[in-house]
Amino acid sequence: MTLLANFLAIAIVLNIIESLVPVIPVPGAKLGFANIVTLIILYVYSFKDSATITILRVLLVSLLTGKLLGPVFYMSFSGAIFATFAMGFFKKTNLFGVLGVSVIGSIFHCIGQIIAGIFVIGSSAVIFYLPIMLVLSIPAGVVTGLITQRFLVIWQTWHNEFEN
Amino acid sequence: METKRFKNKRDFILITILVILVGAIYISFKLFMFTEDAAQAQVYYGTSTEPIVTIDFVNYRVIKNYIQNVPDGYDQNYPIIDEEAQTITLLGDYELNGIRQIVVIKYEFGTANSKPSVEIIQEQSPNNICSREGVSTGKPLICLPNRIRVEFDSSEVDFTV
Amino acid sequence: MKKIFFFPVLMMFIMLLSACTNKEEGSIFSAVFFQMDSEIRINYMANNQDQANEIKAHIGEVYAMYHSLSDNYAPLEEDSPYLENIYTLNSKINQDVEIDYELYMMLDESSRIKELTDGYFDISIGKIVKAWKDVILDPESRDDGYVIPQSVFEDLQDEIGLIEVQENPFTLSESSEKYYVRINHIDVQLDLGAIAKGYATEIVKDYLIENDVIYFAINAGSSTIAVGKNSNPERKNQQWNVELIDPLFDNEYFGLIELRDQAIATSGNNVQYATYNGLRYHHIVSPLTKYSMHYYHSLTMIGNDAGLLDALSTAFFSMSPETITSWLAIHQEELGIEVILYNYDGTITTHLLDTIFVGY
């Protein structure tokens, strides 16, 4: 349990750090590095745990940065939900490895943000930012995936050793 | 405990396909969207579907559609339209020390070899990200912290008589 | 495995790139002139900046010339290259005055159109028009819809009653390459305001065509427009889309026309008018009755000759719908003239040939 809490803390920090990097003038749009934690929990624990921690993460970050229920919150929340469910689903199908799931999560994270953005701003003009965000989300997803992959391999070795 | 495999060959195929798809989307956006000649630009504030200011490139004029609801304590009646400097000033939602900040939008009518354009030249927001969008001749300018956006309409009309 | 992807990717790129539309050779230039009480905007396609500048300079000269010649508010400048303008002519009654060829031709064309319109177009009623303008544009009345006091109106009626519209207001003559005009009666004051802008625009249009400028649009004060083709790829037929202003409602329009290689002239009563007994009086005065007529609020003429259209748009404003119909029955086909009438009661009547008009 404490481990999960630690993961949550890490996720929050990652989230705050990445929000310092403005991607587009629709603030709240993030690259999705905090997804690393979501992904790890998804593989190490379960989908439910992953979803819970992710939602908690979004809520807490919003509280901490003082932007609860603001446009930034909605976009983060939407992106996180889309990403988490997409990743959960694709992991289940066992079609892809961590890298693939990560990239999928990244793409859906971006789509979720854009959709929320359209509602928040009240205009479909936000869709203009879709292409650039998609283009950025692929390498972001790859990086996230590689980091997670590496982590999981180490974790597994460590976990196995520990168990024995 | 079994060793789980975390890698998968299919990942690479997936990534390649996604790259192609996203690349295609990106290129088609660049080529086809927002490239028509704009006949007017609409400035929106908040969630209103009615533009607060309309910049009419066909007739070379700027129309104030309604006045911004500004709480007591703020100076003037926004939007302020300066036809000489060709700017429109609105009161944004972003607050510095609790005080709402202005957003200044610059417009240019079409001339020899240049399309009509709009640019956000002054505003307060995290990292001043809105004013870094640059000059736009068709793509929407969105400033979320201030809840202001500028959208272009292409139109069927070349002249009015 | 990777090789399989190469081909479709390449295909896609080629397809996307070839979807780029071909742009015409040359760039669009624009110029603005302030002449003849109007803002005249011209967009035209030229091959390079030099050619564009040359064209702009020439057009500027044409408009400046006709502005000077047709000016009826002030005499020519001291260093003017011209002999007379309308202002100076109007003070020389019953004498043969030598004038420049260009002015002569404009007066000649005006006479021709007077005959063509059975007297509904007449540049000699300047005195009557001025009497009306003095009342309508009286410094005391700023807004449109100024109501003319009864005494003022009656004084005006008396004043106009004393002025006769002449059948032969002026005589043109030519000898040994010199051109002359003679104003034949003290009641005659020439006013080219109803034709000069269109006439000059027609000359500019001819110049552009002679210089192989295919894509252009001339917008002279929104009341005279002459266009070639439209290079905007959005316009399927290379046409210019012109929206018609509704004379009764601000910022509203009542229809759209498609124009290509044509001209348009409009007349309306919504720019500076005064009211009397609920009717609008304005600067278009009927040479037959000496009053503004109340058949239409605005009308739009479409055709080929901008000068003719400018004059006709004035003449028609004084003609009843029946007169217009019978006139068109005789002349419409031959001249290729089309008309859209915004009637006084708010209805629209059109006499169109090929032009597409979309009513709103």
Radius of gyration of chain A (CA): 15
| Pick from C82, C297, C288, C103: nearest CA to C195 | C103
Q: How many CB pairs under 8 A join B and C?
A: 68
How many structural domains does chain C have?
1
How many whole angstroms separate alpha carbon C264 and alpha carbon C305? 9
How many whole angstroms separate alpha carbon C336 and alpha carbon C304? 7
The answer to whether C170 touches C92, Cβ cutoff 8 Å, is no
Least confident range from B13-22, C24-33, C134-143, C189-198: namely C134-143
Residues across chain B: 161
Residue span of the structural domain in which C36 resides? 21-72+194-237
Residues of chain C with C-beta less than 8 angstroms from the C-beta of B28: 16
pLDDT at A114 > cutoff 70 = yes
Separation in Å, CA of B161 to nearest CA in chain A:
32
In a domain, C268, yes or no: no
Residues of chain B with C-beta less than 8 angstroms from the C-beta of A159: 1
B158, C240: Cβ pair inside 8 Å? yes
Give the one of A27, A100, A129 whose C-beta lies nearest to B14's C-beta: A100
- Give the distance from CA C161 to its chain's centroid: 29
**Tell me: the pLDDT tens digits for B29-82?**
877 776 666 778 889 887 777 889 988 887 777 888 888 888 877 877 888 888
* Predicted local confidence at residue B1, as pLDDT: 42
The residues spanned by each domain of chain B are 38-154
Pairing of strands C279-281, C274-276: antiparallel
**Tell me: the pLDDT tens digits for C141-160?**
556 668 888 998 999 999 99
In a domain, C180, yes or no: no
How many whole angstroms separate alpha carbon A65 and alpha carbon A17? 12
Residues of chain B with C-beta less than 8 angstroms from the C-beta of C59: none
A103 vs C19, more confident: A103
Q: Do chains A and B touch (3 or more CB pairs under 8 A)?
A: yes
B53 vs A26, more confident: B53
Domains of chain A: 2-163 (1.10.1760.20)
Please give the full DSSP string across C11-79, using - where no structure is assigned: HHHHHHHHTSPPPPSSEEEEEEEEETTEEEEEEEEESSHHHHHHHHHHHHHHHHHHHHHH--SSPPPTT
As a whole number, the mean pLDDT across chain B is 80
Residue B78 tokens, joined: 């926004």
Q: Which residues contact C137 (CB under 8 A, 6 or more apart)?
A: C272
pLDDT at C278 > cutoff 80 = yes
pTM: 0.68
Write down the ipTM of this complex.
Answer: 0.73
In a domain, C80, yes or no: no
Contacts 24+ apart (CB under 8 A), C83-92: C86/C190, C86/C191, C86/C192, C89/C181, C89/C183, C89/C190, C90/C126, C90/C183, C90/C189, C90/C190, C92/C183
B158 vs C338, more confident: C338
